């Protein structure tokens, strides 16, 4: 029975630590979330177009040669 007490005590300690760390989380507010989402989408769009144009240029150069 002593082993079971140790197991449950360690599980309890683990979840106390999880709760303590969870309370340290700084959640993003709505305004910042929108700002970061727009920035992420803009970067994705920019790099998507950029690499598409690079690929198109390479394809045109290869087909002309």
The pLDDT of residue 1 is: 60
The pLDDT of residue 50 is: 98
Both structure tokens of 50: 């950029």
Both structure tokens of 41: 């989408």
CA distances from 2 to 8, 11, 16, 27, 64 (A): 10, 14, 21, 41, 80
The pLDDT of residue 2 is: 80
The number of residues in the chain equals 65
Average pLDDT by stretches of 10, the chain with 65 residues? 84 95 92 96 98 97 87
The pLDDT of residue 38 is: 98
Determine the Cα–Cα distance for residues 61 and 2; give it in Å rounded to an integer. 75
Output the pTM of the full model.
0.58
The pLDDT of residue 4 is: 84
Residue 24: DSSP 8-state: T
């Amino acid at each position: 029975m002593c082993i079971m007490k140790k197991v449950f005590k360690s599980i309890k300690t683990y979840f106390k630590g999880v709760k303590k760390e969870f309370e340290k989380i700084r959640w993003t507010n709505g305004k910042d979330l929108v700002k970061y989402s727009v920035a992420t989408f803009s970067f994705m769009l920019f790099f998507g177009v950029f690499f598409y144009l690079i690929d198109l240029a390479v394809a045109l150069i290869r087909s002309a040669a």
